[in-house]
Chains A and B, each alone.
Chain A
Amino acid sequence: MPRRTALKKAETPEKERRPRQTKPKAKAEEPRIGVFVCQCGSNIASVIDVDALTRYARTLRNVAHAENMNYPCNHQGQDAIIAAIKDKKLNRVVVAGCSPRLYEPTFQSCVSQAELNPWLFEMANIREFASYCHQTTPGEATEKAKDTVRMAVAKARLLEPLKPIELPMTKRVMVIGGGIAGINAALDLADMGFKVYIVEKTETIGGYMALLDKTFPTLDCSICIEGPKMVDVGRHPNIEIISYADVLKVDGYAGNFKVKVRKNPRYVIAANCTGCGECRDACPIEYPNYADMYLGVRKAISIPFGQAVPLTHTINRDYCIECYKCVDACGARQAINFDQKPEEIDLNVGAIVVTIGYGMYNPKDLEWTGYGKFSNVFTALEFERLILAAGPTGGKVVRASDGQKPHSVAFIQCVGSRDVNRYEYCSSFCCMYTLKHAVMLKEKYRDAIEVHVFYNDMRSNFKGYEEFFNRAQKSGVRFLRVKLENRRITEDAQTKSLTVYGETEDCKPVSAEADMVVLANAAVPAETGPEVARILNIPLGKDGFFKECQPKIRPTDTEVPGIFLAGACQGLKDIPYSVAQGSAAAAQAASVLSKDSWTVEPLVAKVNEELCSGCRICESACSYRAINVEKVDEKPVAKVVEGLCRGCGICSSACPMDAITMPNYSDNQIVTQIQAVMEKRVKKRE
């Protein structure tokens, strides 16, 4: 993406460029090639004899100018290249330096500043291919660099000017997932004036944050700070929430994605439902509520929690007995429709922001925890619902076995995470929420409760977090540093109280009695991750989270232009960083949407329709779904979707009819390069 952006910026305005490109003379002109050898400080010059290389370059056919310089990539260097192009009337440029992956866009824009078509530029990589890998044999490295330059010059002779492809831009955006990251991305984009669709899988937006009691390290009420944002999303004229829905299919490319969404039936007509809850009161059926982590129940027609947005009720037909008492209760509003069917909606958007969040690991298979077996062992999210005033117990922390308030609580860190057999990574926010829970208990019950934290490393490495750790220590929470191995929990069969055992780093046993144990279970990739990855054709990393394009400098980009990542689906992160990343992804998406058209590099496959036999081999070879066989005048012919083609050339080499060519990577150009590199060896043998 930035590569393309840089290109676009560098180009001279359309009007000026057009006459130059249509110049038919450019082709007929005798090539005048300029070779610029980079010293790259000492990266190249310390191994390769750049002077010899420059002299050698001058001997090559059609080379009108060659020079070496310290850094062609900096301002000075680029000015020198522009000057040389103008002075020596160069019409092809070769830079012998580093990888084109790093600097090709820079030099292309430099060349276009000298009013030369940016595709009349070629790069010879003498750093990664010669100086870096042959440091001990400088003589041979120089020879290899010469070969590389000769190849580049041979190709440069055959380069053709190309014109970037302009595609139309749809000024709408889809955000998948309505957690706190998605909410922020949506609000930012909507405020910038773009139409936003939030597609949310569950009945309400809000994500995990809406289920939390307090947030660390300030102990703000979670829903009190997220609720207003949720309401803003619900009321924003530019945002449409499509909740209780699944993304089925995404076709197209940046600027023009065609999305199919299935809206699952709520059996309640959203437009008529006022959220009054009279139906809920009439309903006789209750079922375990996911939003309460199954600690409490909700009615078969209900909303998951009071602040739900949209406030439309949903009937769970898995539990509903169809007595229609809700229909009677709803009365004249007539919001209930038991005949509702799944509805498929087609959306056309220019960009997509993926914020599908994460899931929680069920520690049932970690036997030492006793989770699921011992009734007073909870996960952190369950504890969150217990301590929450709007939770199923009304904020009373009570044991499951007898409903009594615990006198001692033990927290255990790293359950499932930082475990090579389960989740190798650190779940990143567990240390902090455990500190939050410990402080809340201690500050609420003071000396009436004893709090132990079994931890291995305390990770409190962001603004205000270490101070919060100090607050926890001062409040009387006792921290026991134990190894991750040899931890276990036992239960007293009669009192149902628990004992937690661990081992310190120097192998001394430690233990603590607890009426209740809370596990900091690992946060895991969202269950729907693989499905979303398949639909969007974006990769998942080894850990199961979406893979960003470049982990450091492009953390919100995916491999697919126009699709961006934010929040925990890219890697676990806490609320402030999810919010920040949501805004970052929104800005990235806006940089796409704000364009009038989407510019694609012209290095896309071209099909000679006369030669194409419609065999579909290219179709299956393409990993970007960018080439499809369509019927043209009854004849099946391969068509390239330019917005999707990444110019990899696989279709071209797979085509048995030689019907597909890649501009500036034609067979002729590649063969010439091969001939150029073989030339010297053939001569030697002779």
Chain B
Amino acid sequence: MPLKALKEETAESLTLEWVLHVKNYKLTLDKSKCVGCQICTLACPKEAVRLERHPKIQGEKAQKARVDIDLAKCNFCGICDVSCPYGAINVTVDGKHLLSVLDKQSFPQLVRDIKVDAHKFPLDREKSEDVCPLKLIKVSFLTADGKKVEDLSSLSEPERRRLSVNVEIEKDHCPCCGVCEVKLPDGAIHVRKFLSGKLSINAEKCPDGCTACMDVCPITGALYVSDSDKKVHVNEMFCVYCGACKLACPVDDALELKRTRINHTPVRSGAWNKALERLTSSTEMSKELKTRGSLKARESVKKRVGLKGEKCA
């Protein structure tokens, strides 16, 4: 049987597959999770990911851009999988989610710094779960003997006080917007963004009454219509700088997005440097290289000094 290179698209997903006699490579894009941002397009080292913008139809909600992956260019490296802020892409080898690029330190992982203090969560499932715009938080309540309580209203107040809260977060799909941190009681959850930058809207260019960016933004509250000028404004506290809004915006340069820093595991890789340059800018990339360089220098100095010290001793 020859190499089978397959591509299949349904309403829910896009699947690419290499079926070899001894190996199977599969890439699945979960369309319900994909927001049509630019990250995978920029991160892909083979330029295999393309975005198709949907033309805006008057009177309808704007639609997110459609992701298309070129089977001829894709090499199933999994960099899109690693870099997707929403975890919408899954690459497997022989059914296992073990990516060689991570294993061989050819690409870093995004650092999703989420700290949860379950004790501080309110004893209210809906209040806790609904704060996440992507519905990634799952809360369960356990009695002292470890039993799950489904209906809180059936319990008396002392019983409720004895309950412990168990919080599960689908970290892989979390873009770390930080909405939960603000909406939940203080200290219940702490989120550090892995993408930082600057998103601004040029009010002069932004057309009146257009909310295309808001329609596609997956984070409630990151964009809002101001009461004063009836135009869309950015709340950078929640923005994850994914760029979905920029692709939906019908006017050039009305939205300006600059990513400046990406929080990732340490790595030394040309593929990452190039991805970083495309995701942020050349200056930001060189900044990171410089930092890495000086860290390395410091380390080597430390080593030498340390060695000398030992010799002296």
Contacts and interface: CB of A to CB of B under 8 A. Distances in A.
Nearest to A295: B21
A321 B20 contact: no
Place the interface of chain B in its size category.
20 to 34
A288 B20 contact: yes
Given A294-B20, A295-B21, A297-B20, A323 B272 contact: yes
Contact of A364 (B2, B18, B105): B2
A288 B1 contact: no
Contacts of B18: 288
5 contacts: A288-B20, A325-B105, A371-B2, A393-B22, A400-B1
Contacts of A330: none
Contacts of A321: 45-46, 75, 77, 79, 101, 106-107, 271
Interface of B: 1-4, 18-23, 45-46, 75, 77, 79, 100-101, 103-107, 268-272, 274
3 nearest CB pairs, A to B: A294-B3, A323-B106, A295-B21
A378 B3 CA distance: 11
Contact of A323 (B19, B46, B271): B271
A296 B20 contact: yes
Interface residues of A, number: 37
Given A284-B101, A323-B106, A323-B271, A295 B22 contact: yes
A243 interface: no
Given A284-B103, A362-B2, A324 B20 contact: no
B104 A325 contact: yes
A323 B269 contact: yes
Interface in A287-346: 287-288, 293-297, 300, 318-319, 321-325, 328
A164 interface: no
A294 B25 CA distance: 13
Contacts of A283: 104
A284 B271 CA distance: 11
Contact of A285 (B77, B269, B272): B77
A296 B23 CA distance: 7
Contact of B271 (A322, A328, A364, A393): A322
Given A296-B20, A321-B271, A323-B270, A372 B2 contact: yes
A377 B104 contact: no
Contacts of A514: none
Contacts of B45: 321-322
Contacts of A400: 1, 19, 21
Contacts of B4: 372
A386 B100 contact: no
Nearest to A375: B1
A377 B75 contact: no
Nearest to B268: A328
A362 B1 CA distance: 11
Nearest to B18: A288
A138 interface: no
B21 A393 contact: yes
A295 B20 contact: yes
A143 interface: no
Given A284-B107, A377-B1, 12 more contacts: A285-B75, A285-B77, A286-B100, A295-B20, A295-B22, A319-B75, A321-B45, A321-B46, A322-B45, A323-B271, A372-B2, A393-B22
A296 B20 CA distance: 6
The residue in A284, A286, A375, A386 that gathers the most chain B C-beta atoms within 10 A of its C-beta is: A284
Contacts of A371: 1-2
A318 B23 CA distance: 20
A472 B150 CA distance: 72
B1 A324 contact: no
Contacts of A325: 104-106, 269
B23 A322 contact: no
Interface in A359-378: 362, 364, 371-372, 374-378
Given A288-B3, A319-B75, A324-B269, A282 B20 contact: no
Contacts of A382: 1-2, 21
A234 interface: no
Contact of A284 (B20, B22, B104): B104
A288 B2 CA distance: 10
Contacts of B2: 293-294, 362, 364, 371-372, 379, 382
Contacts of A375: 1
Nearest to A364: B2
Nearest to B269: A323
A337 to B, nearest CB: 14
A601 to B, nearest CB: 52
Nearest to B72: A318
Contact of B101 (A318, A323, A393): A323
A100 B105 CA distance: 75
A659 B80 CA distance: 70
A58 B270 CA distance: 92
A392 interface: yes
Contacts of B77: 284-285, 321
B75 A386 contact: no
Nearest to B104: A284
Interface string A386-423: 10000011000010100000000000000000000000
